[in-house]
Amino acid sequence: MIETVNLTKRFDDIVAVDHICAQIKDGSVFGLVGTNGAGKSTFLRLLSGVMRPDEGTVTIDGKSVYEREDVKSRFFYISDDQHFLGNGTPADMLKFYGRIYPRFDGERYRKLLSSFGLAERRKIATFSKGMKKQLAVICGICAGTDYLFCDETFDGLDPVMRQTVKSLFANDMEERGMTPIIASHNLRELEDICDHVGLLHRGGILLSKDLDEMKTSIHKVQCVLAEGAEVPAGLEVIRQESRGRLLTLTVRGERETVERAMESAGAVFYELIPLSLEEIFISETEVAGYDIKKLVF
């Protein structure tokens, strides 16, 4: 398990990561969502030991990450801006990572290069952005590490390739218990793969919850109340909109509780509609007092 306690990183007067306390459980897919500049990349660099925190700690199974080769051998970091050996080829990357990661699977690496249509002897400098992303993912998957840190990994990949990468992640999670930590500004990209999601905003984690828990504890209700009736007092209403007599409520609570409240109010009509991950976060961030117009999803 990865754990951060009061993790903080400053750059002069800018607090990029602000006292983050988080736990990332093994065997799950942790999605880290936030605006550009929210601190996602800095957080991943702290997790991977690229940076030393100004305050707080990062540990994997209780062991500090920074300047610990034995701990760093347990994860692979795919940065948003990939770095490869100067004038190198995929074959050179195989030799390089094969020396660093004891469980690097060279046979699988070559098979994946062929499947992705990446020439083993071609100069990486001639690859497109998408091809470099594909190569970085292949390196990360074949490293055989317990954890895979991904910074905007799906950015630059076409839709077919995105699904292929997600399938690779799912396969390695099932086969060897790999735990991906995926940072992205795109909620829709993470909704079908993540088990747990954290919203990073202004350097701190605003929310961190299991995705299933989120979806069962907040609901959108479309209803028509009887003439003169009011919204039931027992409902915790986060958001309310009206078009004529049609009310659209975003409420927090168990489904059964919401249904009982609507029935006791004598609603002429009501329907509970599933919320998307994006709608959940919009509702939660508005409650927390943040300007949703500044958030990029």
CB neighbour list of residue 51: distance below 8 Å, 6 or more residues apart = 9, 42, 45
Residue 60, amino acid: I
Cα atoms found within 13 Å of the Cα of residue 27, Cβ hemisphere only: 4
Mean residue pLDDT across the chain: 88
How would DSSP label each residue in 257-297?
Answer: HHHHHHHHTT-SEEEEEPPPHHHHHHHHHHHTT--GGG---
pLDDT band at 284 (very low <50, low <70, confident <90, very high): low
Which whole number is the average pLDDT over 282-286?
A: 69
| Range of weakest confidence among 142-151, 255-264, 277-286 | 277-286
- Position 295 scores a pLDDT of 46
Q: Taking 60 as the threshold, does the pLDDT of residue 273 lie above it?
A: yes
- Position 275 scores a pLDDT of 84
Q: What is d(CA 47, CA 4) in angstroms, rounded to the nearest whole number?
A: 8
Q: What is d(CA 208, CA 198) in angstroms, rounded to the nearest whole number?
A: 4
Q: What is d(CA 187, CA 82) in angstroms, rounded to the nearest whole number?
A: 22
| Range of weakest confidence among 7-21, 55-69, 175-189, 273-287 | 273-287
Q: Taking 90 as the threshold, does the pLDDT of residue 46 lie above it?
A: yes
Residue-wise pLDDT for 3-17, tens only, equals: 999 999 999 999 999
Residues 42, 10 contacting (CB under 8 angstroms): no
Residue-wise pLDDT for 212-231, tens only, equals: 777 788 899 999 998 888 88
Q: Beta strand pairing status for 147-151 and 75-78?
A: parallel
199 CA to centre of own chain: 8
DSSP state of 81: S
DSSP state of 243: E
Which whole number is the average pLDDT over 204-209?
A: 77
Residue-wise pLDDT for 233-270, tens only, equals: 888 888 888 898 899 999 988 889 999 999 888 899 99
- Position 188 scores a pLDDT of 77
- Position 159 scores a pLDDT of 87
Q: What is d(CA 60, CA 70) in angstroms, rounded to the nearest whole number?
A: 11
CATH architecture designation of domain 2-202: 3-Layer(aba) Sandwich (3.40)
CB neighbour list of residue 124: distance below 8 Å, 6 or more residues apart = 84, 85, 88, 89, 90, 93, 132, 135
**Which helix (H) or strand (E) element contains residue 59?**
strand 55-60
114: tokens are: 């062929």
CATH architecture designation of domain 213-294: 2-Layer Sandwich (3.30)
What percentage of the chain exceeds 70 in pLDDT? 95
What are φ and ψ of residue 188, in 5° steps?
A: -60, -30
Residue-wise pLDDT for 82-115, tens only, equals: 889 989 999 999 999 999 999 999 999 999 999 9
The more confidently predicted of residues 203 and 285 is: 203
The more confidently predicted of residues 79 and 190 is: 79
- Position 81 scores a pLDDT of 83
Has this prediction a pTM greater than 0.85?
no
In the chain, where the domains are located: 2-202, 213-294
